[in-house]
């Protein structure tokens, strides 16, 4: 009855249903073809990527937790391409990797660079794989301040600061740093540095004197790091995945599952480059200490 009264409407409904079904099937097949390992049944290695300057930890923490609780994921590879970053996020990721490595094998894979905070988080893994030419090490802390006092005077600006405590504006860019303030900040950086050293000692199970002799901020190649005990093996990402899989008890072919990336954002594309993050970071007037390697 309906088809006789409204044949065109019926045709449109059927056509729409067919097109919608086709789109769903095509989307599924495309996803299956581009991320085949996600649909593999059986035991897999989860891969988490840490790229650029480490400014937050929430994403990586969530990914680690998800893979840790997923019974089909037998081991995890944390792929690091980072010169380091802020102290807090680096410490949070290190702690979560340590928590995860206690129940499921975690292997850190170093790409082009995994220095300072990048090495900090790698030290929490059960093992570290680096390329021979990977830039790593840089076990140290940096605090940078820029003084604009002379520039402000030249353009006729006189800053006025009202503070509640003697050291509340420590590190201010509008006046010279006092000797006692420099000592406070130096002591602060030394304490953060000791935390870094202790993390490497705990994560890598290395002798304190050995770590302290290497923790002067210098960088090493992956090849040097292996000789020094900072890295376990030389190899690429596939080598790290293979090692992690075997450590996790996978006998046959090893499939991988990559942690889901955030949705594409033009704003993210324009603002998320490491160079821009670094530039903005040092323009920020807030007091901060960083585990970061900064080449000249």
Is 168 catalytic? The answer is: yes
Specify whether the CB–CB gap between 182 and 196 falls below 8 A: no
Cα–Cα nearest to 288, from 55, 123, 96: 55
Residues 141 and 216: their CA atoms lie apart, in Å, by 9
Residues 10 and 4: their CA atoms lie apart, in Å, by 9
DSSP codes of every residue in 107-131: EEEEEEEEETHHHHHHTTSSEEEE-
Per-residue pLDDT tens digits for 251-263:
999 999 999 755 5
Could you give all domains of the chain from N- to C-terminal order, each with its CATH number?
A: 40-292 (3.90.226.10)
Q: How many CA atoms lie within 13 A of 94 on its CB side?
A: 29
**What pLDDT shows up at residue 141?**
94
> Which of 163, 168, 178, 191 is the catalytic position?
168
Q: Which residues pair with 82 in a beta bridge?
A: 114
Per-residue pLDDT tens digits for 124-151:
999 999 999 999 999 999 988 888 888 8
Q: How many CA atoms lie within 13 A of 215 on its CB side?
A: 25
DSSP codes of every residue in 237-294: HHHHHHHHHHHTT--SPPEEEEPPPPPP-HHHHHH--HHHHHHHHHH--S---EEE--
Does the pTM surpass 0.85? The reply is no
> Which of 116, 138, 172, 225 is the catalytic position?
116
Evaluated on CA atoms 241, 245, 251, 253, the torsion sign reads: negative
Cα–Cα nearest to 93, from 130, 34, 49, 41: 49
Task: Give the range with max mean pLDDT: 11-15, 67-71, 257-261.
Answer: 67-71
């Amino acid at each position: 009855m309906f088809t006789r009264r409204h044949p065109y409407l019926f045709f449109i409904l059927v056509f729409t249903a067919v097109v919608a079904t086709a789109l769903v099937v095509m989307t599924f097949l495309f996803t299956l073809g581009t991320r085949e390992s996600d649909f593999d049944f059986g035991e897999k290695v989860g891969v988490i990527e840490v790229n650029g300057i480490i400014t937050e930890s929430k994403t990586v923490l969530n990914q680690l937790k998800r893979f840790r609780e997923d019974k089909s994921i037998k081991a995890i590879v944390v792929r690091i391409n980072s010169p380091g970053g802020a102290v807090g996020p680096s410490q949070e990721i290190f702690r979560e990797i340590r928590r995860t490595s206690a129940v499921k094998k975690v292997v850190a894979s170093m790409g082009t660079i995994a220095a300072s905070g990048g090495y900090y988080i790698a030290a929490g893994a059960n093992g570290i794989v680096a390329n021979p030419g990977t830039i790593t090490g840089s076990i140290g802390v940096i605090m940078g301040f820029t003084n604009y006092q002379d520039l402000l005077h030249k353009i006729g600006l006189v800053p006025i600061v009202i503070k509640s405590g003697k050291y509340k504006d420590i590190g201010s860019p509008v006046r010279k740093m006092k000797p006692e303030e420099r000592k406070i900040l130096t002591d602060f950086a030394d304490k953060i540095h000791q935390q870094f050293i202790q993390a490497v000692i705990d994560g890598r199970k290395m002798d304190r004197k050995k770590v302290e002799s290497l923790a002067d901020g210098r960088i090493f190649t992956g090849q040097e790091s292996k000789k020094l005990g900072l890295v376990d093996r030389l190899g690429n990402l596939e080598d790290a995945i293979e090692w992690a899989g075997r450590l996790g008890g996978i006998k046959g072919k090893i499939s991988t599952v990559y942690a889901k990336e955030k949705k594409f954002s033009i704003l993210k594309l324009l603002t998320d480059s490491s160079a821009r993050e670094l530039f903005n970071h040092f323009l920020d007037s807030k007091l901060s200490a960083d585990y970061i390697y900064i080449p000249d």
